[in-house]
Structure 1
Amino acid sequence: MTLLQESTTRLRAREISGGESAVVGPLKAYHHETYVLSPPSGMGPVKLREPRSTSLWFDRRCFQSEEELLRGLKGRIDRVPDVVDVEGMGLQTFIEGRTLGAHRWRWGRRVPDAVFEQIVALFRQMVPITAETLHVERRCSPQDAPEDGDTDGFLKRLVVFVEEQVYAANRARFGGLFEELGVRDASLVRLGRSVAGLTERPFCLLHADLHRENFILDRRRGLWTIDWELAMVGDPLYDLATHLYLMRYPADQEDRMIREWCEAVESVRPGSSRGWQRDLRVITDFKRAQSVYTDTIRAALSLHDETGLRWAALPRVAGKLHDVLTAAAGPLGLEDVPGRREIMAALAHRHREYAAGA
């Protein structure tokens, strides 16, 4: 019996759908084991997904349930998955189409105008949704939620999350690697200071993970937004900064997105783009710094499999990590970014130490 057949998630999918032939998957996903299935009731295809026990979570989550959030967004955000009840479980409908990432081979990094305008419309629809108007249970306690407009407090909590839940929580296993890369405790202190002093802006709903794989184009060229698990309520400029950082638009489209985003959010809630000229750079610096911590750990993990260190992948992984470190050198105060060979040596050294202690 294979590992796939032993999966309790797959067994559950088979039971709900009434047979193996009605189950597709697992789909490619990092945090979840996901299947598409067709319940015998005749409703359309739905997704069954459960967290992988081996996944590391590097992002703060605000809402108790993505499905309950989607129920709350129904009628307020165009083209998000429906949630249907199947055998006592709320399951998301499966959106048929292709992600923007899958279309990259045709368009490069450029997004067609019709798609671009739908992304701007999504931002416009999120702005009026606030903590007071969205009656969905949240994870954070009232004491841990910054007051509306406290953009400094919002970003500070994200810095603290990186410090406590990413860096400190994994220091025993990866602390030596961070040290060899020149990333030390003082780096986070510097980051906290460098991202202070943001302009106040009214809070609203944020998706917080708007990249090409979370946008799906259906057959009618309608744009659907999926994976709302990292959604939160906070600074609207954070959502724009994250989106630009993840999308990697060409320079002219990035400028256009900033301009049209400002027009869209200001038309709904004046003040939502206040101070963007400085603060967009500050928040982007945080995103670059955050990537150092998450990407370093993921890089180290990606090089290890049941056979040991994947030597053939080492140069490529080290090259990507070098780019991440270079981009974050300013926010983290890294005086000397190690070269690719030094990063390769650090990753190999970490692997030997981990293998010896395993």
Structure 2
Amino acid sequence: MSQPLSEHLLRGHHRDWQVLPAEDHLPIAGRIKAGRSRPGVTRFDPRCFLDEEDVLIELALLGMERIAPVYRLGPDGTRVHGFIEGEPLSALRPPGTPLSGTELDQLARLFGELAAIPPAALALVHSCPVPDRPRTSREFARRLVRFTRRRVYARHRAALGGLFQTLGIDSDVLSVTGPLVREAARMTNRPFCLLHGDLHRDNLIVAESDGQLWTIDWELAMIGDPLYDLATHLHLMDYPERQEQAMVVRWAGAVEERLPGAAEGLPRDLPRYLAYKRVQSVFTDVIRQAIAVREAPVGQLGERLTTAGEMVSRALRRAERPLGLGRVPSPSVVEGVYAAFHAGAVPVPAAPSGGAPLGGARSTPAVGRPVPPAPRATGRAGRSSATT
């Protein structure tokens, strides 16, 4: 996701981008953008590729359209992206508002294109050691939970564990015996393909040239279960409820046509992945907002506290069922917790599991209700034989 810092500077979660005109002597039409990594940025998602540029180059070779071209410039071969002139979909269709039928169809085609790209097609740039790659949907889902447990929560527990406790978030939801891992073991195994991993309204550009959706920000692309990409998309897009179901139907038809078996078990497994995404979002937002509050410049603390209250309360509300919360703290209550954290008044936890002083009596965690089955399309494409 990119946010404008100035007319020619964009900030994403992992890189800052400078938008520049292409020099006259270069065979490049339009503007380019050059990225610079942001040091010390916490990563909250697993990655399969070291560089987004590697993914984009491979996709271009595979014939995928409506992605940014990659150019090498200068004697050191610095790689830059072609800049897609247009508006983010979020500016034209804000979260919570419906998309047009044409836009839904374009997204379904994109998912179909991704489903048609087998793991073997990106083997040369896949950075994960082969023995460490999940080979089934069940293993894939378990490793997502493990990543959040080890690389997100555990790394921040010493500094922020008291914050989780005070907000009523029990880290046992991520444990090896917790509800998310138990549900992962019940997953239907599906063939793997390329996933975008972060497909939301800010990463879809409505191009000036043709009004079509172009896809940017492939940094979280990975190889895995195609249903996870749909769950991530639904979680981030914030569709109106009826349109969410319409997108599920379109997705199922598109991926089954290109990768038979990709939509197997959809009604049971989509709620399982959505439960994980909602829990992951809570841990991610709590940590991100803590960092933002802790590093607030003079004069911006009040604004940062308000944002923390709104974002974390919303994340808790969406994850109420899988977290087993008795009640969800309001934005003003969460804001007060972060104010106490900033003042050093939130205690360091004494035990690995968090209590629930704000969440009230804890109910049994649930991963969500099954969704209605979507029609399946039969296609001619064969199942991918790659298992990485």
After TM superposition, is the score higher than 0.5? yes
**Residues 113-124 of structure 1: pairs in structure 2 closer than 5 A:** 113-124=101-112
1: CA distance, partners of 2:319 / 2:240:
20
Distance 1:291 1:270, change over 3 A: same
Distance 1:152 1:352, change over 3 A: same
> How many Å apart are 1:29 and its aligned residue?
2.3
Runs of 4+ in 1 over 4 A off after TM superposition: 354-357
Q: Does the aligned pair in 1 maintain the 2:34–2:79 contact within 8 Å?
A: no
Flag the structure with higher helix content: 1
Q: Aligned residue for 1:314?
A: 305
2: CA distance, partners of 1:136 / 1:52:
26
Q: Aligned residue for 1:130?
A: 118
2: CA distance, partners of 1:108 / 1:233:
29
Distance 1:203 1:348, change over 3 A: same
Query: Can you give the 5+ residue segments of structure 2 that lack an aligned partner in the other structure?
Result: 1-5, 349-388
Q: Aligned residue for 1:328?
A: 319
| Aligned residue identity for 1:26 | L
Q: Give a deviation string over 1:29-71, Cα, whole Å, max 9, x none.
A: 2321110123422323221111111422111111122111111
2:64 maps to which of 74, 77, 80: 77
1:239 maps to which of 229, 235, 243: 229
**Residues 18-167 of structure 1: pairs in structure 2 closer than 5 A:** 25-40=8-23, 41-42=25-26, 43-44=28-29, 45-74=31-60, 75-87=62-74, 88-104=77-93, 109-147=97-135, 150-167=136-153
Q: Give a deviation string over 1:209-265, Cα, whole Å, max 9, x none.
A: 000010011121121101111000100000111111111111221111111111111
* Greater RCO (CA < 8 Å, at least 6 residues apart): 2
Q: Aligned residue for 2:259?
A: 269
- Normalising by the residue count of structure 1, what TM-score does the alignment of the two structures yield? 0.86
1:251 maps to which of 225, 238, 241: 241
Q: Does the aligned pair in 1 maintain the 2:308–2:338 contact within 8 Å?
A: no
Residue 352 in structure 1 maps to residue 343 in structure 2 = yes
**Residues 292-303 of structure 1: pairs in structure 2 closer than 5 A:** 292-303=282-293
- Normalising by the residue count of structure 2, what TM-score does the alignment of the two structures yield? 0.80
1: CA distance, partners of 2:303 / 2:125:
46
2: CA distance, partners of 1:108 / 1:165:
31
| Aligned residue identity for 1:254 | E
Q: Does the aligned pair in 2 maintain the 1:72–1:136 contact within 8 Å?
A: no
| Aligned residue identity for 1:84 | Y
2: CA distance, partners of 1:131 / 1:243:
20
Q: Does the aligned pair in 2 maintain the 1:77–1:126 contact within 8 Å?
A: no
Residue 169 in structure 1 maps to residue 152 in structure 2 = no
